[in-house]
Structure 1
């Protein structure tokens, strides 16, 4: 799955990564990200979302589907 990263990513890091990958993400996921960025989140959650977005555009369709499922789950929980 996703490699463990020792770096902690800020909300700004996550937002920047999201903006670089947004065109490759499902349209109906974008409002969920808007809600996500409106709130405060744990470091663990920020790191997870960052890594789900990292190199999303280079992932296979199967890998993107797997990441999408996890993103919908994570983003859906933080409303």
Structure 2
């Protein structure tokens, strides 16, 4: 996964990702919202943190098709815990 392909030049900290997860958690499928904390407990690269942050960002505003795409990305990430 390549960093900053989404046009964002900000590196998001683990704390940023946790805060974003807390805000978006009510909108996520249970399997994803329950799996992500364990995923983030393991050491993650900056690229991985940025990727998860941007999957979470505005998830609640995304249409069904975009949410399904992001859910698939989350599932791929969570397979590697």
TM-score, reference length from structure 1: 0.90
- 1:70 pairs, out of 59, 68, 73, with 73
Q: Which structure 2 segments of 5+ residues have no match?
A: none
Partner of 1:55: 58
- 1:7 pairs, out of 10, 15, 35, with 10
State the superposition RMSD in angstroms. Answer: 1.2
Number of positions where the alignment pairs a residue of Structure 1 with one of Structure 2: 77
The reply on whether 1:32 has 2:73 as its aligned counterpart is: no
Q: How far apart in 2 are the matches of 1:7 and 1:33?
A: 21
Q: How far apart in 2 are the matches of 1:76 and 1:13?
A: 23
Secondary structure in 2 matching 1:32: helix
Secondary structure in 2 matching 1:4: coil
Query: Which aligned segments of 4 or more residues in structure 1 are displaced greater than 6 angstroms?
Result: none
Q: Which structure 1 segments of 5+ residues have no match?
A: none
Partner of 2:48: 45
Greater CA drift, 29-38 or 43-52: 29-38
